[in-house]
Amino acid sequence: MASVTATTDWHDWHLPYDDDTSPLSRRLRLIQRHINDWLDQRPDSSLRVVRVCAGQGHDLIGALAPRSDADRVRAELIEYDPRNVAAARMAISAARLDGITATQADAGDFAPYRTAVPADLVVLAGVLGNISDADARATIDALPRLCASDATVIWTRTRRHPDLTPAIRGWFATAGFTEEAFHAPSDMLFSVGVHSFHGQPQQAPPNGRIFTFTA
Ligand SMILES: C[S@@+](CC[C@H](N)C(=O)[O-])C[C@H]1O[C@@H](n2cnc3c(N)ncnc32)[C@H](O)[C@@H]1O
């Protein structure tokens, strides 16, 4: 996967998705598989999804586009870079996913989640490796304010040394989540985790910091 620096161009960061064999594409297929599994397991006529730091929305848009039941999903993609928001909106429109909205906003604040929570699925991929360890913990602790009962969270984190994933998995448990899956391919640095929420959902405040994006 592309390395992240203080000058990362978050539009060009998505280019490896054009190569089916890239680590980013491999990670994408795992995330999409879990989005599909989640939707297959939920018979509800209406489901809410929040995509934190959505980028161009490849995971959610790509998973929903071929599905005949995509209209069951109301999703909010929250992304800061206007070029990525524009790309996501084009993909949403091309796939005729009327229930998905891409919003240009700081996903590190509670404010843009106001109309989108409580969510039945929170996709937190490409976030936990770009914030401080303390903010990674604070973000996981904040998830009960974003999640509905029985919600699922799909998350990713690089396992580059020092590997934070053992701590992350422990923080999920402390916050009331059960681990459903954890993929850590031996030839890859990425990991993909899936957790389900069985704790008590909490009211999200109208605003206030969850995390600050650092990379
Ligand atoms: C590592 S990329 C992941 C993109 C996407 N989640 C994916 O996995 O394909 C991080 C994304 O976060 C976006 N971003 C950075 N700071 C943000 C913020 N404060 N609020 C929302 N998005 C932010 C970047 O523009 C970039 O698209």
Q: What is the pLDDT of residues 167-211, one digit of tens each?
A: 999 999 999 999 999 999 999 999 999 999 999 999 999 999 999
The single residue listed with the structure tokens 């890859």 is: 188
Q: Write out the residue range of the structural domain in which residue 187 sits.
A: 29-197
Residue 21, token pair as written in the block: 């064999």
Is residue 63 within a helix (H) or strand (E), and if so which, with residue range? helix 58-64
Cα 127 from chain centre: 8
Q: How far is the CA of 125 from the centre of ligand 1 (A)?
A: 9
**Predicted pLDDT at 182:** 98
The strand pairing partners of 209, in sequence order, are: 109
Q: Among candidates 118, 105, 115, 120, which has minimal Cα distance to 52?
A: 105
Distance CA 16, CA 22 (A): 6
Domains contained in the chain, number: 1
* 187 belongs to a structural domain: yes
Cα 43 to averaged position of ligand 1 atoms, centre (Å) = 30
Has residue 207 been placed in a domain? no
On whether residue 69 sits in a domain, the answer given is yes
In a domain? residue 209: no
Give dist(CA 1, CA 66) in Å, integer. Answer: 26
Q: Is residue 1 lining ligand 1, measured as CB closer than 6 Å?
A: no
- Give 201's contacts (C-beta < 8 A, 6+ positions apart): 118, 144, 145, 147, 148, 149, 151
Q: Are 215 and 4 in contact (CB under 8 A)?
A: yes
Report yes or no on 130 lying in a domain. yes
Compute, in angstroms, the gap from residue 204 CA to the centroid of ligand 1.
Answer: 21
* Straight-line distance from the first to the last Cα atom of the chain, in angstroms, rounded to the nearest whole number: 15
- Residue 67 domain-assigned? yes
Written as tens digits, the pLDDT of the chain (215 aa) is 555 555 899 999 999 999 999 999 999 999 999 999 999 999 999 999 999 999 999 999 999 999 999 999 999 999 999 999 999 999 999 999 999 999 999 999 999 999 999 999 999 999 999 999 999 999 999 999 999 999 999 999 999 999 999 999 999 999 999 999 999 999 999 999 999 999 999 999 999 999 999 97
Q: Does the Cβ of 108 fall within 6 Å of ligand 1?
A: yes
pLDDT for residue 1: 57
Give the SS3 label for residue 192.
strand
Instruction: Report pLDDT for 175.
Output: 97
Point out the ligand 1 atom lying closest to the alpha carbon of residue 107.
20
The C-alpha atoms of residue 64 and residue 88 are separated, in whole angstroms, by 13
Q: Would you say residue 12 lies in a domain?
A: no
Give a yes or no: residue 61 inside a domain: yes
Q: Is 78 in the pocket of ligand 1 (CB under 6 A)?
A: yes
Residue nearest to atom 16 of ligand 1 (CA): 213
CA separation for the pair 101, 170 (Å, rounded): 32
- Which residue's CA lies nearest to atom 19 of ligand 1? 106
- 109: domain CATH number is 3.40.50.150
How many Å lie between the centroid of ligand 1 and the Cα of residue 47?
Answer: 23
What is residue 7's predicted lDDT score, i.e. its pLDDT? 82
CA of 131 to the centre of ligand 1 (A): 11
